[in-house]
Amino acid sequence: MTVPRLRIEKRLRQRRWLMVGVPLGSLVVAHIAIAILLAATGHPPLTTFRRLFDAAYLADGALASTLIAATPLAFTGLAAAVAFRMRLFNIGAEGQLYFGAIGAAGVALLLAGRSTPVIIVAMVAAGAALGAAWGAIPGLLRAFLRTNEIITSLMLNYVAALVLNYLIFDSLSYWRDTSATGQVFPQGKMLPDAASWPVSTIGSVAVPFGFPLAIAAAVVIWVLYARTRFGFEAQVIGDSPRAARYAGMRTRRKIVAIMCLSGGIAGIGGASQMGDFRHLLDARGLQQANYGYTGIVVAALARYNPFAVVLVAFLLGGLQNAGFTLQSAEFPSGLVGVMQGMILFAMLGGELLVHYRISVARGGRRGQPAAEVAG
pLDDT at 113 over 80: yes
* pLDDT per residue as tens digits for the range 197-224: 999 998 888 999 999 999 999 999 999 9
Asked whether the predicted pLDDT for residue 266 surpasses 90, the reply is yes
If pLDDT is split at 50, 70 and 90, which confidence band does 371 have?
very low
Percent of the chain exceeding pLDDT 70 equals: 95
pLDDT of residue 375: 40
Of the pLDDT bands very low, low, confident and very high (cuts 50, 70, 90), residue 303 is confident
50-65 per-position pLDDT tens digit: 988 898 888 888 899 9
**What's the average model confidence in pLDDT over 168-182?**
90
pLDDT mean across residues, the chain = 88
Q: How far apart are CA 42 and CA 358, in angstroms?
A: 36
Q: Which of the four pLDDT bands, split at 50, 70 and 90, describes residue 1?
A: low
Distances (CA, A) of 23 to 67, 76, 351: 24, 22, 8
Is the pLDDT at 38 greater than 90? The verdict is: no
Amino acid at 296: I
Residue ranges of E strands in the chain: 4-10, 199-202, 205-208, 356-362, 371-372
Amino acid letter, 82: V
pLDDT at 262 over 90: yes
> Could you read off the pLDDT of 239-260 as tens digits, one per residue?
888 888 888 888 999 999 999 9
* The model's pTM: 0.88
Question: 165: burial class by Cβ within 10 Å (0-12, 13-18, 19+)?
Answer: middle
Collapsing DSSP to helix, strand or coil, 243 comes out as helix
Q: Which element (helix H / strand E) includes 324?
A: helix 306-326
CA angle, 184 then 190 then 194, to 5°? 170
Rounded mean pLDDT of 73-78?
A: 96
